Amino acid sequence: MSLGLIGRKIGMMRIFTENGDAFPVTVIDVASNRITQIKKTSSNGYCAAQVSFGQKKISRVNKPTAGHCAKAGVIAGSIIREFRVKDDSILSSFQNGMEIKSDIFKVGQKVDISGITIGKGFSGAIKLHNFSSNRASHGNSKAHKKTGSIGMAQDPGRIFPGKRMAAHMGNVKRTIQNLEILRIDSERNLLLVKGAIPGSKDGYVVVRSSVKEKK
């Protein structure tokens, strides 16, 4: 595992290559990533870097978090995440309060991006699980979008756990793997990633180096 960045999803756009090929890209703002703590094997049992992103109102920061960030010389961020690494040598050039910029990635690199999907509210089985709807006519009475049979008869006399039924849709953490970085704007700390990523506009995402990169 390697160091990553926390970002904010700005939106999507289209870019063109020198050959004239068009690609849809998602723009991610990764500015203001600062290290709040470096964990080492000798003291913590594992190697990791704790990173803070953005800035939170002082009135909304609890005292433990405020003290923890002040110790590192960092303003309390709106989100804090931890990135585990293989060994201490990877973090030898980093220290508390240091800003991590987009240059830790490179153009063409594959990354995994995690985010919270857009919430769709309570949804039926047809929308949520892509079930087929029932017949439109020929004896069908007010059961066009019903789930249908959900179990058997007296034996076993119950619905098995995990049965796909109507439920809340979206608002869950999802990770998209092997997305390619097409461009990096170092001045504004922007990543332009090929394709779509989870979450709504202005939502927080976590960008890491791909763990299953296709050769």
Q: For 32-100, CATH number?
A: 3.30.160.810
- DSSP assignment of 131-181 equals PPP--SSTT--S-TT-----S-BTTB-SPPTT---SEEES-SEEEEEEEEE
Indicate the domain borders of the chain. Answer: 1-30+102-119+170-215, 32-100, 121-168
* Topology given in CATH for the domain delimited by 1-30+102-119+170-215: Elongation Factor Tu (Ef-tu); domain 3 (2.40.30)
Place of tokens 């030898």: 92
58-75 tens-digit pLDDT: 899 999 999 999 999 998
pLDDT digits (tens, 9 = 90+) for 151-180: 999 999 999 999 999 999 999 999 999 999
CB 179 within 8 A of CB 193: yes
Separation between Cα atoms, residue 95 and residue 38, nearest integer Å: 7
Contact 59, 13 (CB under 8 A): no
